[in-house]
């Protein structure tokens, strides 16, 4: 039985498709209101709820509020509060797509109270991967082999990822055509990203650094020159003979490379991943007293909430009252 047989209507969105007042063109465009990644995540969450309902001989669509409350309480036995909240969003979105807008069981007080109780009991603290800070980056640079093509690529990848505060998905999507070198540095076009669902695009400027060891622009030029790249994907995998493949590096490869150099520099690789570069920039910028607005300009965050978390982390010791007491 495929997922379409399991009441996951969000992908086709019957509420839109059955609306006779909408033109075919309008229906097609409305189907693109959510990204493929979002739909895949919602579908996986919905399938978990559907399977739970099937096991308990309960109806998933439309579901009764009590069914949803019992499900999220079972889920909370082994999942974090944030996971429970995300599953509830998927259930709600699928009900809306099926036409249950005014009678969405997720919107009722019973479900909201159940979720609040779970959050209060379990807490909502998110333990993300550790940041690679500026001083960590300086230590890591000594482990790049500048005589090896893999080392040249990895240096450009990590320095660019940090200086541009790129998500790993953004990093691997960069093409040669997206780069504009100037006297001041390089401007990188980010056509679309997780935080830019409307595809407005953004430009990220990375200036030259007086310290060549951590200069992302110089490292980037070295990689492009050594790899003889003229067009297409910027960062590419290598085969066992160190030959460059004609395809993009994957998201997972970025995480593997970050872990590799974290380990070489004496850090615990289990604490780091692809996101450590982006998080590291924001945290390091806060430690260097960069203002919130400037950090957001480079990270391209739309909300201050996440950036403020990074700033708070960066200032844990700087603004610590014990410093004055000592």
- Spatial separation of the C-alpha atoms in residues 324 and 147, rounded to whole Å: 48
176 and 51 in a common domain: no
216: containing domain: 134-314
198 and 63 in a common domain: no
pLDDT of 289 higher than 70: yes
Domain boundary among 70, 90, 122: 122
180 and 117 in a common domain: no
Whether residue 320 lies inside any domain: the answer is no
Whether residue 243 lies inside any domain: the answer is yes
pLDDT of 262 higher than 90: yes
pLDDT value for 17: 74
Phi–psi pair at 289, nearest 5 degrees: 65, 25
Give 9's DSSP letter.
-
Do β-strands 179-181 and 202-207 pair in parallel, antiparallel, or remain unpaired?
unpaired
- Tell which residue, 158, 181, 165, has the closest CA to residue 257: 158
183 and 75 in a common domain: no
Whether residue 208 lies inside any domain: the answer is yes
What percentage of the chain carries pLDDT values higher than 90? 64
pLDDT value for 1: 33
- 25-84 tens-digit pLDDT: 887 777 676 777 788 889 999 999 999 999 999 999 999 999 999 999 999 999 888 899
64 and 22 in a common domain: yes
205 and 96 in a common domain: no
**Residue 55: strand, helix, or coil:** helix
CATH of the domain at 299: 1.10.443.10
**Residue 290: strand, helix, or coil:** coil
Residue 308's pLDDT band, with cuts at 50, 70 and 90, is confident
User: Can you tell me the mean pLDDT for 93-97?
Assistant: 91
Whether residue 32 lies inside any domain: the answer is yes
Q: According to DSSP H, which parts of the chain are helical?
A: 14-17, 24-30, 36-55, 65-75, 81-97, 109-122, 134-140, 149-163, 168-173, 216-227, 251-264, 275-287, 292-299, 304-314, 321-325
- 115-162 tens-digit pLDDT: 999 988 887 655 668 899 999 999 999 999 999 999 999 999 999 999
- Spatial separation of the C-alpha atoms in residues 17 and 122, rounded to whole Å: 40
- Spatial separation of the C-alpha atoms in residues 192 and 60, rounded to whole Å: 35
Whether residue 145 lies inside any domain: the answer is yes
pLDDT value for 161: 97
Question: Can you read off the two tokens belonging to residue 112?
Answer: 């909201």
CA dihedral of 103, 105, 107, 111, whole degrees rounded to 10: 160
pLDDT value for 302: 80
CA distances from 29 to 8, 11, 22, 113 (A): 19, 13, 11, 36
User: Can you tell me the mean pLDDT for 285-300?
Assistant: 89
Tokens 């991943």 belong to residue: 273
- Tell which residue, 127, 158, 129, has the closest CA to residue 268: 129
pLDDT of 16 higher than 90: no
> Where does residue 285 fall: left (phi above 0), alpha (psi -120 to 50 degrees), or beta otherwise?
alpha
User: Beta partners for 205?
Assistant: 187
Domain boundary among 122, 153, 177: 122
pLDDT value for 3: 40
pLDDT value for 199: 58
Whether residue 23 lies inside any domain: the answer is yes
User: Which has the minimum average pLDDT: 87-91, 125-129, 136-140, 286-290?
Assistant: 125-129
308 and 241 in a common domain: yes
- Spatial separation of the C-alpha atoms in residues 20 and 18, rounded to whole Å: 6
Question: Can you read off the two tokens belonging to residue 50?
Answer: 């559907």
Residue 105's pLDDT band, with cuts at 50, 70 and 90, is very high
- Tell which residue, 124, 204, 127, has the closest CA to residue 162: 204
Domain boundary among 93, 122, 151: 122
279 and 153 in a common domain: yes
pLDDT value for 125: 59
Average pLDDT of the chain? Answer: 88
pLDDT value for 4: 43
Query: How many structural domains compose the chain?
Result: 2
Give 57's DSSP letter.
T
CATH of the domain at 53: 1.10.150.130
* Cβ atoms within 10 Å, residue 187: 14
pLDDT of 182 higher than 70: yes
Q: What is the pTM of this model?
A: 0.67
79 and 174 in a common domain: no
Question: Can you read off the two tokens belonging to residue 69?
Answer: 């409350």
User: Can you tell me the mean pLDDT for 224-250?
Assistant: 95
Whether residue 162 lies inside any domain: the answer is yes
72 and 148 in a common domain: no
Whether residue 323 lies inside any domain: the answer is no
114 and 201 in a common domain: no
138 and 271 in a common domain: yes
Selected residue with higher pLDDT from 222 and 324: 222
User: Can you tell me the mean pLDDT for 184-203?
Assistant: 77
Catalytic residues: 167, 194, 275, 278, 301, 310
pLDDT of 89 higher than 90: yes
């Amino acid at each position: 039985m495929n997922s379409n047989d399991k009441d996951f209507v969000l992908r086709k969105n019957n509420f839109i498709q059955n609306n006779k007042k909408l033109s075919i063109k309008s229906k097609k465009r409305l189907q693109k209101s959510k990204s493929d990644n979002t739909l895949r995540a919602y579908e996986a969450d919905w399938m978990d709820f559907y399977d739970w309902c099937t096991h308990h001989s309960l109806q998933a669509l439309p579901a009764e509020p009590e069914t949803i409350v019992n499900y999220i309480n079972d889920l909370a036995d082994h999942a974090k509060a944030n996971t429970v909240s995300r599953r509830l969003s998927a259930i709600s979105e699928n009900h809306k797509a099926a036409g249950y807008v005014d009678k969405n069981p997720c919107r009722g007080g019973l479900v909201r109270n159940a979720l609040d109780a779970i959050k209060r009991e379990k807490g909502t603290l998110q333990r993300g991967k550790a940041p690679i800070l500026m001083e960590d980056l300086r230590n890591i640079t000594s482990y790049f082999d500048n005589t090896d093509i893999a080392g040249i690529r990895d240096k450009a990848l990590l320095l660019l990822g940090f200086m541009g505060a790129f998500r790993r998905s953004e990093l691997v999507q960069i093409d040669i055509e997206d780069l504009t070198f100037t006297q001041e540095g390089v401007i990188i076009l980010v056509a679309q990203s997780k935080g830019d669902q409307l595809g407005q695009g953004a430009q990220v400027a990375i200036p030259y650094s007086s310290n060549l060891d951590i200069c992302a622009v110089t490292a980037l030029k070295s990689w492009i020159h050594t790899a003889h790249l003229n067009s297409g994907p910027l960062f590419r995998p290598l085969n066992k003979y160190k030959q460059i493949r004609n395809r993009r590096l994957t998201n997972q490869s970025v995480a593997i490379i970050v872990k590799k150099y974290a380990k070489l520099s004496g850090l615990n690789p289990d604490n780091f991943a692809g996101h450590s570069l982006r998080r590291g920039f924001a945290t390091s910028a806060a430690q260097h007293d960069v203002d919130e607005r400037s950090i957001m300009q480079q990270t391209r965050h739309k909300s201050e909430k996440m950036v403020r978390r990074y700033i708070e982390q960066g200032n844990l010791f700087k603004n610590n009252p014990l410093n004055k007491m000592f």
